[in-house]
Amino acid sequence: MHPDVKKAMEPYFAEDFGNADSLHLFGQRASAAIDKAREGIAGELNADFDGIIFTGSATEANNHIIRGAVRSFLKPNTSNLKPKIVISAIEHESILETAEDLEKYGVTIVKIPVSKEGIIDTATLKKELDENTAIVSVIFASNVIGTIQPIKEIGEIIKNFRKETGSEYPLFHTDAVQAFQFMKLDMKELGVDALTLSGQKIYGPKGVGALAIRKNWISKVAPLITGGTQEFAQRAGTQNTPAIVGFGKAVEIVVSSREQEARRIEKLRDDLWSGIKKIVPGAELNGSKENRLPNNLHVSFPGSDNQELLIRFDQAGIAVSIGSACSVRSRQASRVVLELGLGEERATNSIRFTLGRNTTEEEAKETLGRLGKLI
C-alpha cells in the first residue's frame, strides 16, 4: 500500500469513525469522505457519480454484475427466452466460476476462444449475440498473461447489435482490474455499460472494489446483497469508510503518474525479458509481446516444472506465480495457456513475473543473477 494511502485512511479508523449513513455530524463526515472518493473515480472513468458502487472486492463486483444482469434479464421477460452469458475463454475465475455456477440453473454459457497471442476472436463473439444474450463480459487485460483485449471494438459490435434488434440487451461489462493502473479508461468512449476495479491492484487497501454501472442500467441490475439502501440500494451493508477513502486516494496517485510509470515499468520488463532469454535461450513468452500490460511477463521454461520452479524461486527470494491454475494430473497447468492452444507441456512449465511501482532496476538485475543459478 502506498504510504500516502495509509495516511489518508488513518483518521477514519478512530477520529472520524461515524457510520456514513447516520444523519449526525460524525456520520456526515464519513459520508462526505466516501462521496469524495466516489466523485474522483467517477470523474476518472467518465462515469456517473451514482453509478459507482463500492464493494468488498473486485470478485464481489464481478459476481454482482453477472448475477444481477441475468436476474434483470429474466424479470421483464414473460416469453421462454433462456438467458445466455458470453465471456472470453481466459476470464478471471470470479467471472468464469460465477458463470459456471449460473449454468447449473439453466443459464447458457458461451466461452469465446482466443488466438495463440491471447486475443479474443471478435468475429465469433459477434455470431454468438442473439435475443437470449443477457450479458457479455470480457476481461480488459488478462491477470495471467497480461494481454489487452479490443474492448472498444467489442463495444461497437454490441452497440450495433442493439440497434439492429431494438433490444437494450446485452449489458457489456469488462473486468478492468489489471488495466486501470496503466491505461486511461473512459466508459463512454469504450462503449462499456459496467466496469470493475480493485483497490489492492493500484496500491490501495485490500478488501475494497468498485463496480461502475452506466446510469441507464443502474436501476435494472438486481443487487447481490440486500438489507439496506447503501450504495444507491445496490449493495446493502455499512460502508468500509477507511478502505473507500484509501481507494479514492490510490486512484489519485495512480492517475497522476500513470504514463510515466507505464514507460518505466515497460522498459524494466523488456530488460528482464532480454536477460532471461540470454540465460535460457529456449524460454518463450506467452501471449502477445506488443499488446500486453507493461508489468507482465508470463514465461515458459522448457523442460521445467512450474511448481518446482516456484518453490526454487521462492527459496531464492524471488516471488513468482503460476497464475490462474487448474490441476492436470499431478502437475499444475495454466488454464489460460491451455486456452492459447500451446499444449499441456507449455502450460505446465510457465510462470509469471509481475513488476510494479516498487520494482527497481537493481532488483531486476539481482533477479537475473539469482535466476542464472536456478535454471
Q: What is the pLDDT of residues 305-314, one digit of tens each?
A: 999 999 999 9
pLDDT at 327: 36
> pLDDT > 90: what percent of the chain?
84
Q: Does domain 3-253 have CATH number 3.40.640.10?
A: yes
Which among 361, 323, 54 has a CA at the least distance from the CA of 210? Answer: 54
**CATH no. of 258-374:** 3.90.1150.10
Q: Angle of helix 361-374 relative to helix 241-279, nearest 10 degrees?
A: 50
Q: CB within 8 A of 177, min separation 6: which ones?
A: 58, 92, 140, 143, 196, 197, 198, 201, 209
Q: How far is C-alpha 365 from the chain's CA centre?
A: 29
22: confidence class by pLDDT, cuts 50, 70, 90: confident
| Dist CA 203 CA 2 (whole Å) | 5
Decide: helix, strand or coil at residue 178: coil
pLDDT at 16: 85
Q: What is the mean pLDDT of residues 143-156?
A: 97
pLDDT in tens, 105-115: 999 999 999 99
333: confidence class by pLDDT, cuts 50, 70, 90: confident
pLDDT at 20: 83
Active site (catalytic) residues = 326
pLDDT at 329: 41
| Dist CA 28 CA 50 (whole Å) | 17
Domain boundaries of the chain, sorted by first residue: 3-253, 258-374
pLDDT at 330: 42
pLDDT in tens, 217-254: 998 899 999 999 999 999 999 999 999 999 999 999 99
Please answer whether residues 297 and 286 qualify as being in contact, where contact means their C-beta atoms are separated by less than 8 angstroms.
no
Compute the mean pLDDT over every residue in the chain, rounded to the nearest whole number. 93
pLDDT at 375: 84
- Range scoring the smallest mean pLDDT among 77-81, 225-229, 298-302, 336-340: 77-81
- Range scoring the smallest mean pLDDT among 42-56, 157-171, 221-235, 269-283: 221-235
Q: What is the mean pLDDT of residues 329-355?
A: 85
pLDDT in tens, 44-85: 999 999 999 999 999 999 999 999 999 999 876 656 789 999
| Dist CA 311 CA 322 (whole Å) | 11
pLDDT at 19: 82
